[in-house]
Amino acid sequence: MAVPEGGAERALPQLVWRPMRPSDIDAVVEVARLSFPDHFEARACFENRLALYPRGCFVLAHGDAPAQGYLIAYPWRADGAPPLNTVIEGLPTDPAVLYLHDLALHPQTRGGGLTRAVVERLAEQATEDGWPAVALVAVNDAVDFWARHGFSVRDAPELAAKLISYGADARYMVRRL
């Protein structure tokens, strides 16, 4: 509950996870800017991921109101991660995992347990589609957050150089399905 200046409580709008639409991109870019100021990705990257694999793109919103969060995932190679802020030409012909590229919430919506539903939805969908695992790169000291969602750090020496661009605390993590 939020308390306006007058002191009376009011209910926050009901936020639910739904499939991302092209009209959500402006709000997604804003949430990303607020959530990852050190890991900038251009609007074209979000448009690109939605076009390549809409099945893995979700937003947290109240109806058609601007998105307050998002999740983007797509098929990728095991022990791999695409470079940040890069438009990818296409999905790999030899994907082995569902790669969770990004999950972010607007700062005003954090701390309410809203991420669990979409992470579990993604895991169920990935299982249905036959993926053996979901992988990601944890940034901003998020290893413990992702561990609570069933992910474990995986040492991938071949990724060491690429992880540097994600920050000193970046860790490749995998959730087996």
Residue 92's domain comprises 16-176
Q: Let me know if residue 124 belongs to a domain.
A: yes
Residue 90 belongs to a domain: yes
pLDDT tens-digit series, residues 150-175:
999 998 888 888 888 888 889 999 99
- Number of Cβ within 10 Å of residue 112's Cβ equals 9
Please indicate, yes or no, if residue 73 is contained in any of the structural domains.
yes
pTM here is 0.90
Beta strands in the chain (DSSP E): 16-19, 57-61, 69-76, 97-105, 133-138, 152-153, 171-176
Residue 63 lies in a domain: yes
Q: Is residue 117 part of a domain?
A: yes
Encode pLDDT of 15-69 as tens digits. Answer: 999 999 999 999 999 999 999 988 889 999 999 999 999 999 999 999 889 999 9
Q: Which CATH number is 164's domain given?
A: 3.40.630.30
Q: Does 126 fall in a domain?
A: yes
Domain assignment present for 46: yes
Number of domains in the chain: 1
Query: Measured between alpha carbons, how far is residue 67 from residues 3, 94, 107 in Å?
Result: 22, 32, 12
